[in-house]
Amino acid sequence: MITARHIRFSYPAHDGGGFSLEVAAFAVSGGEAVAVVGPSGSGKTTLLSLLAGIETPQAGEITVDGVAVTGLGEPARRAFRLAKIGQVFQRVELLEYLTLEENILLPLRLADARVDAAARMRAGGLLARVGLAGKAHRLPGTLSQGERQRAGICRALVAAPPVVLADEPTSSLDAASAGPALDLFFQLVREEGATLVCLTHDTAQLSRFDRVVNMRDLAQERGGRP
């Protein structure tokens, strides 16, 4: 499902130059849930950006769901991202001026896909599954952090992507809320049949994953950029 080989990436000099990441080989099978761990600054987030096609490596090959991401131009990478990748961020940034439902449907709108009754029904279904059934038309400002995080998960899954990339999805939640939130996240990802790559610092949660990959095993060089 995901393969990355001989990746070499460094940020341009004017954009945090000095940091570089090298990955000899990274592979995730379809439907697998992989945790990526490593200290801050080890390049976890950069790896996720490379897999999502947000950044392009200077060398190497990345293939996701049969698409050679490294060979795509900017517009094609955007289309790939919208079609193949669902992303859950460390700190969920919902657009404050859109309702929960509109936020969840945002990837479809950006992909110029039809936001029809079926799409709304899917968004409603996802919201119901994360316990936000009655809050589809609420604005993010009226929700708790946990509710926003759950809405972020719905947004990542609305386009039924084959791959979900999560960057410490429960880091903004307290310890009591993190466990149940991750349970829900896993349950949804599995129900959707998606492949999951999740960055985490929380060693207590690692047992949930099929496999744990340490950045030390991937990277040969690293600089000072987080």
Partner 1 sequence: MNRFLFLALRYALFHRIRTLALVAAVAIICALPAVVFTGVRVFEGALSSRAKTTPLVIGAPGGRFDLALAALYHRKGRMAALPFGVFEAIAQSEEARMRNGMGAQVFPLHNAHSAGGHPLVGTTLEYLEYRGLRPAAGRLPGVLGDAVLGAQAARTLGLKPGDALLTDQESLFDLAKNPPMRLHVTGVLAPTGSADDRAVFVDLRTGWIVGGLGHGHDDVAAADPAKLLKKDGANLTASAAVRSFVEVTPENLASFHFHGDPKDFPLTAVIVMPATEKAGTILADRWNQPARRAQALDSAAVVAELLEMVFRIERFFNLGLLVVAGSCLLVLGLVFNLSMRLRGAERDTLLRIGAAKHTVGLLLMVELGLVVGMGLAIAGAITAAAWRAAPAVVEWML
Residues 150-209 contacting partner 1, CB under 8 A = 155
The binder of partner 1 chosen from 15, 74, 116, 174 (CB under 8 A): 74
**Residue 210 near residue 36, CB atoms below 8 Å:** no
Angle at 47 between CA 53 and CA 175, to 5 degrees: 115
Task: List % helix, strand, coil for the chain (3-state, nearest 5).
Answer: 40, 20, 35
* C-alpha neighbours within 13 Å on the C-beta side of residue 122: 18
The distance from CA 122 to its chain's CA centroid, rounded to whole angstroms, is: 19
- Does the footprint of partner 1 cover residue 79 (CB under 8 A)? yes
- Does the footprint of partner 1 cover residue 12 (CB under 8 A)? no
Residue 105 or 182: the one with the smaller Cβ distance to partner 1 is 105
The number of beta carbons lying within 10 Å of the beta carbon of residue 70 is 19
- Does the footprint of partner 1 cover residue 135 (CB under 8 A)? no
**Residue 84 near residue 53, CB atoms below 8 Å:** no
Residue 22 or 158: the one with the smaller Cβ distance to partner 1 is 158
The binder of partner 1 chosen from 111, 120, 168, 205 (CB under 8 A): 111
- Does the footprint of partner 1 cover residue 67 (CB under 8 A)? no
The distance from CA 168 to its chain's CA centroid, rounded to whole angstroms, is: 9
- Does the footprint of partner 1 cover residue 116 (CB under 8 A)? no
The binder of partner 1 chosen from 112, 116, 137, 175 (CB under 8 A): 112
Which residues are at the interface with partner 1 (CB under 8 A)? 52, 54, 74-75, 78-79, 81-82, 85, 87, 89, 93, 95-98, 102, 106-107, 109-112, 139, 155
